[in-house]
Amino acid sequence: MSDIQTRRRPVSVGGASLFAVLIILCLMVFAVLARLSAQSERALAERAGQAVEAYYAAEYRALHRIADMSEAGTFTEEIDENRELRVTFSIIEDKTVIDEWTVVNKNTGETPQGPIFGPPPTF
């Protein structure tokens, strides 16, 4: 062997390869986190949709119940296993007036905080 061949160093690609592996690893971690976040958001949206659907179904039943009654009263309509709709209404001059239209937690009896759907209009 000559001196020239023994002095040559092979091109070092270790640093570039390590950097590329780290970049790929970071991208994979971000992809997994994005997927988990999307799944979580989808589940939350489905639960929220079910809660809204249950509320409007209870509202529909409550309005029909009011329409069938001939005198003032108070009743509750179940929304789901944890919530109910508390309705108090009166009849004044052949018009039904809703005095209370409240979502109540069945377990605690408290009104949940946050956006609550308001009462339907007087009919």
- Tens digits of residue pLDDT in 12-70: 668 888 899 999 999 999 999 999 999 999 999 999 999 899 999 999 999 999 988 88
- Tens digits of residue pLDDT in 69-116: 888 889 999 998 888 999 999 988 888 888 888 888 888 877 766 555
The CA radius of gyration of the chain, in Å to the nearest whole number, is 32
Give the domain ranges of the chain.
14-105
3-state secondary structure the chain: CCHHHHHCCCCCCHHHHHHHHHHHHHHHHHHHHHHHHHHHHHHHHHHHHHHHHHHHHHHHHHHHHHHHCCCCEEEEEECCCCEEEEEEEEEECCEEEEEEEEEEECCCCCCCCCCCCCCCCCC
Q: What is the pTM assigned to this prediction?
A: 0.67
122: pLDDT strictly greater than 90: no
Cα 20 from Cα 26, distance rounded (Å): 10
Cα 9 from Cα 110, distance rounded (Å): 77
